[in-house]
Amino acid sequence: MTDPARTLADRVVLVTGASRGIGYAAALEAARRGAHVIAIARTVGGLEDLDDAIAAVGGSATLVPLDLLDFDAIDRLGAALFERWQRLDGLVGNAGMLGVLSPLPHIAPKDFTKIFGLNVTANYRLIRSMDLLLRQSNAGRAVFLSSSAAHSAKPYWGAYAASKAALEALAKSYAGETAHTAVRCNVFLPGAVRTAMRAKAMPGENPETLPTPADVAGPLVDMIEPRYDRTGQVFDIRSGETRAL
């Protein structure tokens, strides 16, 4: 009899930024539910730690040490996944960069380009390379992590805010393009979470007052379940509400 908790059994799920923080917790949660996890990150040590944690819960993973700013490598990854599995059931676009918090005129062009490269272009390249694979699934699911900064666009947060707004626009467009297929594309807002990025953004904040990545991983992974049939939506974990992108 199938374990009812293994709702992602025999499914293939790709998670970016999987070596730490929310990506690590989401990858572990997906594996706990039975998925084979394609874990992508630059940090080999973090991926190896994740692999041990996944094995401890009876799961399996393929580790992919990859810098998502190597856009051609994303294409090669898509080809390799097609050769091995011929499909992709879930994509969690978690990897992101805060960059520098600075007046816009003071941000170096190379820094602005890097922020958009990871937060926007890398996710576009993932969509481009994984689209066929997601369409080959009977319930392909893609979810991208955004931030309330995409809408507040507070002073000094311009580059990060603009990149997350652009990411949401990409997700909305892709959701519309796949609306009449088995693919669903949505956005997840984790709110303030105890991560290295949050500590960099708010160095004076007491991290003990924040939820952990494990606290938000469950609702995030829910969005790549086959039963999650909404598309073109953003789920805000702070309010528990879902709205259209």
Element at 187 (helix H, strand E): strand 184-189
Domain layout of the chain by residue ranges: 12-244
Q: For residue range 227-236, list pLDDT tens digits in order.
A: 999 999 999 9
* Strands ordered across the beta sheet of 141-145: 60-65, 36-41, 12-16, 90-93, 141-145, 184-189, 233-236, 241-244
Tokens of 185: 């594309």
pLDDT at 125: 98
Q: Is the pLDDT of residue 1 over 90?
A: no
Within 8 A by CB and 6+ apart from 24, the residues are 18, 46, 49, 50, 53, 213
Using the 8-state DSSP alphabet, how is residue 137 labeled?
S
pLDDT tens-digit readout, 85-123 = 999 999 999 999 999 999 999 999 999 999 999 999 999
Catalytic residue ranges: 160
This prediction's pTM = 0.96
pLDDT in tens, 147-163: 999 999 999 999 999 99
- pLDDT of 4 above 70: no
- Counts of helices then strands in the chain (DSSP H, E): 9, 8
Angle in degrees, CA 145, 235, 233, rounded to 5: 90
Tally of residues, the chain:
245
| Residue 235 parent element (H or E) | strand 233-236
**DSSP code at position 229:** -
The CATH number of 12-244 is which of 3.40.30.10, 3.40.50.720, 3.40.630.30, 3.20.20.70?
Answer: 3.40.50.720
The pLDDT score that the predictor gives to residue 3 is 60
pLDDT digits (tens, 9 = 90+) for 19-38: 999 999 999 999 999 999 99
- Contact call for residues 232 and 185 (beta carbons, < 8 A): yes
Neighbours of 241 (CB within 10 A): 10
